[in-house]
Amino acid sequence: MMSSLSASPFASKIDSYFVPDARAAGDIRALLVNSAVELATFDKQLKELESALVDLRARREALHRDIIAHESLLSPIRRLPPDILSEIFLACLPRTHNPRAIIHPAHAPLLFGRVCRYWRELSRSTPMLWKKIHIRGLHDSAFVVFDRNPDQDHDGPAGGFYPAFGHHAGFGLSPRTHTAFLHTMNRFIEYAAASPLSIFYVQHHTVDANGSPPDADLSRDAILQVFDCVLAARSRIEALAIHAQSAELRRLSELSAGEMPLLKRLTISVQDGHPEQPLLEDLTILRNAHLEELCFSGRGSPLKAPVSWIHLRKLSLVCYRTMHRTVPPLVTSDDDSDGLDQNAMHEILRYCPLLVQAEFGIVRWEPWKPGSVVMMAHLEHLIISLGHGRNGDEDAIPNIGGLLGTLSMPKLSIFQLSSFFYDILSDNLDRVANSAHMSESFPAPGELAVHLHPELEFSAEFLLAVLAELPRTTALYLSPHAFTTQRGQWVPPFNARLFPALQERAGDLCPGLQSLHVTFPSIHQPMRPTGLLQFVRSRRGTPLNSLHLDLGHSRAQDMDIEEDLRVLEREGLSLRIDEERNERVPRWRYNIPQLLRIGP
């Protein structure tokens, strides 16, 4: 488009080295004065148009918002009866691991109160929304770091947890944040009305939002204020899970028998090793409680605990011994009042005829005292942990084979013999069972999966004695199971007579074995001398038909028996080899002609 200066007598001079004389310079200035006035007129018109455009956009956005608001009046969800809408609210609660409501304004059920007045009133009048509560302690170090990460990608509460309660993470935990959280937690419990409560409480290592240890006394008082809010509703608690330190357990031990009359499921995991940590037998609330589930990881002597064993359907006892830090290194207490041995485990099982799931951590190695056969008609899952905190007779290796020989378990489907963990593995097992993509590893009805965990330092004869008492075994895992939280650098005891003995004693050692799973963190020795190949070849199809090898950081070509296994695969063996895969990244080349090329 041409301007008013396009026809000026000086237009042809613009691209030349023309030097105007005094008369020509005056003419140019006169032309510019008029053009400047015209330019100012254009600027004024543009400003008016831009202002009109801004106003038009604002009016458009306002109209659009009103249209959306009015369209929402036609939303089908408005026509739903309140009972149907309440069911939708319930379906929005967590369904996977730890299916309890999170105390966070951006998550259900608090989120429903931010939609409209009707949703807020309906959600608050639906006690089932509030009966299951996940309380993550404000001083929990893992949670503080978690909250300070704004880019985290997780199903849990977002990094805005602290700001949601009026606090900016990174400047220490303010009293305002603490008070707001207590108020919200009390509202949760209040909205549950008369419904039995299920509370999951987590408070591990104590740090502030900067990751520094706060004042010990102030921190302990603040933590216990949160826990006291939980205990204030103790008469309504049906299920309580505590993953905390000794201070909370001490608070719980101060309660009298009968103060938690509805309690049916109790989980306690205390791992701070405090020398004054209350024992399991100090929990008087267990007396006369009709518990269906009891999971305990801490100090104590289970046989001395006031537990009504007969009602239990799930039991996990990981009772470790006291560690005193007098002078380095840590010294184990000589007190015989805590810990668990194989004889106590057998005695406890006699008291629990209804058990479906059981887990025991054996830390006292005492000589095996054979007992009578115990009928466990309902037991499906049994986990036994060994190898940590050994005390008692160090030469008295637990006779797990003898113990299993005194247990009649017709419904047993999962057995694991592992190294010792402070974690309650059975909780992870429940998570796997409820996971759509992991539940396929569970055995079918009538089958038995046996897991011999890494880091076991026992001979092949020890393991063979265990397998001899589990003749229904259909799947053998010489590897960690999916619900195990740790993975050790362990090579199975192939230098012993494990596979040769399994091959020779096919009639009484796992005669119904269908699948074998073996984990190798790395391959440092030939596998042919282990007898694995010969065993698979001898059992293939009768009925062994599946072999799964997890090579960890190694590759299939590192195995000296890979070609033989591929032959068996072609003959019908279902073979799966998981190996380390390092994808090769193409080398980038600085190609100047390519960069300078113009056009297609």
Q: With contact defined as beta carbons under 8 Å apart, do 169 and 148 qualify?
A: yes
The more confident residue out of 590 and 76 is 76
Q: Give the pLDDT band of residue 196 (cuts 50, 70, 90).
A: very high
The more confident residue out of 178 and 284 is 284
The more confident residue out of 463 and 95 is 463
* Number of structural domains the chain divides into: 1
Model confidence over 540-550: pLDDT tens digits?
877 899 999 88
Region label for 446, one of left (φ > 0), alpha (ψ between -120 and 50) or beta (otherwise): left
Q: Which residue in 128, 123, 153, 148 sits closest to 138, CA to CA?
A: 148
Average pLDDT of span 168-195: 78
pLDDT over 70 at 277, yes or no = yes
φ/ψ (deg, to 5) at 416: -130, 135
Model confidence over 41-79: pLDDT tens digits?
999 999 999 999 999 999 999 999 999 989 988 888 888
CA–CA gap between residue 319 and residue 302 (Å, rounded): 8
Model confidence over 333-384: pLDDT tens digits?
445 556 788 999 999 999 999 999 999 988 888 889 988 999 999 999 999 9
What pLDDT score does 204 carry?
67
506: in domain: no
pLDDT over 90 at 324, yes or no = no
Which residues are within 8 A (CB) of 283 and not within 5 positions of it... i.e. 6 or more apart? 252, 253, 268, 305, 306
Which residues are within 8 A (CB) of 386 and not within 5 positions of it... i.e. 6 or more apart? 362, 398, 400, 417, 418, 419, 420, 456
Model confidence over 1-22: pLDDT tens digits?
777 777 787 777 787 878 888 8
The more confident residue out of 143 and 120 is 120
76: in domain: yes
What one-character-per-residue DSSP string does 254-279 give?
Answer: TSPTTSSTT--EEEEEE-S--TTPPP
What pLDDT score does 180 carry?
84
- The model's pTM is 0.76
Omega within 30 of 0 (cis) for the link into 329: yes
In the block, tokens 């909205």 appear at: 191
What pLDDT score does 252 carry?
93
pLDDT over 80 at 410, yes or no = yes
Average pLDDT, the chain: 79
For residues 347-378, one letter each, b for 16 or more C-beta atoms within 10 angstroms of the residue's C-beta and e for the rest, the string is: bbbebbbbbbbbbbbbbbbbebeeeeebebee
Which residues are within 8 A (CB) of 454 and not within 5 positions of it... i.e. 6 or more apart? 419, 479, 480, 487, 488, 489, 490, 519, 521
Helix-helix angle 532-539:562-570, to 10 degrees: 10
199: in domain: no
78: in domain: yes
Give the H or E element holding residue 404.
helix 400-405
Model confidence over 217-257: pLDDT tens digits?
556 677 788 899 999 999 999 999 998 888 889 999 999 99
Sequence letter at residue 285: I
74: in domain: yes
DSSP state of 374: E
Give the H or E element holding residue 512.
none
Domain that holds residue 72: 56-82
CA–CA gap between residue 535 and residue 440 (Å, rounded): 26
240: in domain: no
CA–CA gap between residue 118 and residue 104 (Å, rounded): 20
69: in domain: yes
Average pLDDT of span 191-211: 75
Residue 78 burial (CB count, 10 A): 11
What pLDDT score does 98 carry?
55
Sequence letter at residue 237: I
63: in domain: yes
